Amino acid sequence: MSRLAALRGDLDMMPSPVEGRPGLLIRDVFEYAEGALIIPPPLMPSLRCFDGQHTLSDLSAAVAKATGSAEAPEIAGQLARLLGEHGFLLNEDLELRREQRHRLFRESGRREPSHAGSAYPNEPAALRTALHGYVDPAGIAAGSGVAAIAAPHVSPSGGWQSYRAAYQALGPAHSDRTFVILGTSHYGAADRFGLTRKPFVTPLGTTRVASAIVEELARQPAAVMEDYCHAVEHSIEFQVLFLQWLYGPDVRVAPVLCGPFVDGIRGSSSPEDDPGVHAFLETLGEIAAREGDRLCWVLGIDMAHQGRRYGDFFTARAQQQEMQTVEARDRQRIERILAGDADGFWDLVQQNRDDLRWCGASPLYTFLKALPGLAGTLHRYEQWNIDEHSVVSFAALSFERR
């Protein structure tokens, strides 16, 4: 009997948030197929059979052992079929789905909105109303001394107060600047930087592309040109929304997705020990020095991820119990960031192999290395229960030249 295809290792799995439907929720963040599955608790152990080594007969036996059902063969067949139909298995069908999606993105002239209608309104009037509730353009600062801000990339409805605090640090004088957006690449390759030449489209309109900067960065060996992760990533899309709201739909942006610096967390090494990372950061620093105040830097980052959703054995509550210790550790890192101390910041990230799971670590390190000598200000720090068992922390920061 042939072996079952293996379950993909890049799927998003979490305890089911759906009331009355416990189990494991599985979804495809790359959107090769739409929809999600909730695997009931009795069937969760059976997923171990999808390792490329077991057969349908093995799966049926595992289901029978877990459920005691006489219909175990039918249940096993249905489970295998549903996982395949959703594109969750490593098989030829997945390869076809992947190639089609990547080709469509490469050939598209625009980066279409990925989260409109889910994380924010898809209808322009409703979106403007929502954004006005988050950030009133009349409330932004009058000065022009801010060189950079860091804002969250959580859902705007959950992190709007920190979005507001970050974007209110900008002013009308920033309207003619090019915004270099450094966003977390949640799904991108380690030690790589994802680029695209495509303008971003939102319900507010279409951005312009800082083509010269993108092309200069694209020549670096660590750059991934037309990175498909841009098609599904939200960390830059949410920053584009706020920039368009403040400065018009045709704001000029250079979007850069920063992949994780895995070796720099697992060992005692620096991210720049990778020659490609070193060269990319050096080029980014040259661009920053050359362009000066013609650029404004925006970081789309979250900080700690704690609780059951992220694999912890405890239930996380914002500002309570374990999360009080997390806040103290978060603030230690923020202190190093505000001081412009990239190496000190990275030393803290490396502790316990970043058990805080700061998904914004690589954009922050990239920024601190490319623009040394800035003075930072913390405007707001927050913890937010993304679900009843899990917490994400984030903050609003701004940076000025000393």
- For the chain, give the mean pLDDT: 94
Domain annotation covers residue 271: yes
Task: Determine what percent of the chain is predicted with pLDDT higher than 70.
Answer: 99
Mean of pLDDT values over 300-309? 96
**Statement: residue 264 has pLDDT above 70:** no
Last residue of a domain, one of 49, 81, 103: 103
Lowest model confidence (mean pLDDT) among 141-155, 218-232, 286-300, 371-385: 141-155
Q: Are residues 98 and 234 in the same domain?
A: no
Mean of pLDDT values over 217-245? 97
Paired sense of beta strands 205-206 and 201-202, if any: antiparallel
Domain annotation covers residue 2: no
- Pair of tokens at residue 215: 């092309």
Q: What is the pLDDT of residue 142?
A: 72
Q: Residue 43 — pLDDT band, cuts 50, 70, 90? A: very high
Mean of pLDDT values over 139-144? 75
Distance (Å) of CA 350 to CA 166, 264, 269, 332 = 27, 7, 9, 13
Q: Are residues 84 and 198 in the same domain?
A: no
Q: What is the pLDDT of residue 269?
A: 81
Q: Are residues 350 and 282 in the same domain?
A: yes
Last residue of a domain, one of 78, 103, 128: 103
Q: What is the pLDDT of residue 382?
A: 98
**Statement: residue 143 has pLDDT above 90:** no
Q: Residue 266 — pLDDT band, cuts 50, 70, 90? A: low
Q: Are residues 70 and 131 in the same domain?
A: no
Q: Are residues 207 and 120 in the same domain?
A: yes
Domain annotation covers residue 197: yes
**Statement: residue 235 has pLDDT above 90:** yes
Q: What is the pLDDT of residue 268?
A: 67
**Statement: residue 359 has pLDDT above 70:** yes
**Ramachandran quadrant class, 235 (left: phi over 0; alpha: psi -120 to 50; beta: rest):** alpha
Mean of pLDDT values over 282-299? 97
Domain annotation covers residue 6: no
Last residue of a domain, one of 84, 103, 122: 103
**Statement: residue 181 has pLDDT above 90:** yes
Burial status of residue 349 (CB atoms within 10 A of its CB: 0-12, 13-18, 19 or more): buried
pLDDT digit string (tens) for 245-263? 999 999 999 999 999 998 7
Q: What is the pLDDT of residue 267?
A: 67
Domain annotation covers residue 148: yes
Q: Residue 134 — pLDDT band, cuts 50, 70, 90? A: very high
**Ramachandran quadrant class, 117 (left: phi over 0; alpha: psi -120 to 50; beta: rest):** left
Q: What is the pLDDT of residue 137?
A: 86
What domain range is 48 assigned to? 12-103
Q: Are residues 130 and 71 in the same domain?
A: no
Q: Are residues 233 and 269 in the same domain?
A: yes
Q: Are residues 212 and 343 in the same domain?
A: yes
Task: Determine what percent of the chain is predicted with pLDDT higher than 90.
Answer: 89
Domain annotation covers residue 388: yes
Please calculate the CA angle 41-47-53 and round it to the nearest 5 degrees: 160
Q: Are residues 190 and 209 in the same domain?
A: yes
β-pair partners for 258: 184, 193
Q: By the 8 A CB rule, do 130 and 121 touch?
A: yes
pLDDT digit string (tens) for 224-234? 999 999 999 99
Domain annotation covers residue 5: no
Total count of domains within the chain: 2
Burial status of residue 183 (CB atoms within 10 A of its CB: 0-12, 13-18, 19 or more): buried
pLDDT digit string (tens) for 31-41? 998 889 999 99
- Pair of tokens at residue 30: 């790359």
Q: By the 8 A CB rule, do 12 and 29 touch?
A: yes
Q: What is the DSSP string of 200-225?
A: BEETTEE-EE-HHHHHHHHTSTTEEE
Domain annotation covers residue 4: no
Q: Are residues 123 and 50 in the same domain?
A: no
Please calculate the CA angle 186-189-190 and round it to the nearest 5 degrees: 95
Q: Are residues 37 and 54 in the same domain?
A: yes
**Statement: residue 210 has pLDDT above 70:** yes
User: For residue 122, what is the domain's CATH number?
Assistant: 3.40.830.10
pLDDT digit string (tens) for 90-100? 999 999 999 99
- Residue 369 CA to residue 81 CA, distance in Å, equals 48
Host H or E run for residue 381: strand 374-387
- Residue 362 CA to residue 191 CA, distance in Å, equals 9
Q: Are residues 218 and 90 in the same domain?
A: no
